[in-house]
Amino acid sequence: MLRTLMHLATVAVSIILLYVILLYPFQPATANAPVESVKSTAVALDTTSAQGAPGARVALLVFSDFQCPFCARFATEVMPELERGIVKSGLARLEFRYFPLEAIHPQALGSAQAAWCASEQGRFWPMHDLLFKNRTNLGRPMWDRLAGRLRLDGTRFGQCISAEVPARIRQDEEDGRRLGVNSTPTLFFGHVQADGTALIAKKIRGYASLDETDQTLRELLGT
């Protein structure tokens, strides 16, 4: 009996350690996270998943996961208001960055690839919105269905989503790790540079309200 209890205790400890090592470092973030100042770091900007004027002075980079509930909340509640406000005004640009938490979200990487494949046909943002609206039913049947709704070239989309993970997704993951991302969403705010990079100054690790996000961008603008 004692030997059995000891064996069960060992198994339990092993499971906890495995969780800590493999899963805990990559978790969905929480709501109402504070704004943090960060060490100034340059990150290359991209146009395939960006909105805003080329001459915008500040940039918001959103590292996100299509199965993450707080990412979905930010994408549906905050981003549309930013797009209609400070982004449309030409003062700021908004960029989506792929950071699928594969250890806890089994469809996150495939969904990121579906968004990338849609971007190859100029439909990243419509696919972005549909993926978040259907985040509880993601998988190949849903990706194909959404591609059909967007009237993408089905053959081209199918070939793309069946191919290797695009380098852009892996680059975003690498950039995220370099910046210390270990949860989603994580927001980075920076000054746009003449060389096509953003010099990161602040971050929010978690869901941020429209007021908090807009205020942080305006603080960088000095307005």
- 2-221: CATH superfamily: Glutaredoxin (3.40.30.10)
Q: Is the pLDDT of residue 12 over 90?
A: no
3-class DSSP assignment, residue 92: strand
What one-character DSSP code corresponds to residue 208?
A: -
Please tell me the distance from the alpha carbon of residue 123 to that of residue 152, in angstroms, as a whole number: 8
Q: Which residue ranges make up each domain of the chain?
A: 2-221
Quick check: 82 pLDDT over 60? yes
The mean of the pLDDT values for the chain is: 89
10 Å Cβ neighbour count for 12? 10
User: Which whole number is the average pLDDT over 7-28?
Assistant: 42
Mean pLDDT of 40-55: 92
pLDDT of amino acid 33: 73
Of the pLDDT bands very low, low, confident and very high (cuts 50, 70, 90), residue 216 is: very high
Query: How far is 94 from 181, CA to CA, in rounded Å?
Result: 18
Question: Which tens digits make up the pLDDT trace of 111-156?
Answer: 999 999 999 999 999 999 999 999 999 999 999 999 999 999 999 9
Report the alpha-carbon distance of residue 134 to residue 125 in Å, rounded. Answer: 14
pLDDT tens-digit readout, 151-193:
999 999 999 999 999 999 999 999 999 999 999 999 999 999 9
**Averaged over 34-51, what is the pLDDT?**
92
Q: Are 65 and 172 in contact (CB under 8 A)?
A: no
Query: Helix or strand or coil: residue 195?
Result: coil
pLDDT given at position 31: 59
Q: DSSP string spanning 122-191? A: T-HHHHHHHHHHTGGG-SHHHHHHHHHHTT--HHHHHHHHHSPPPHHHHHHHHHHHHTT--EESEEEEEE
The whole-number pLDDT of residue 223 equals 64
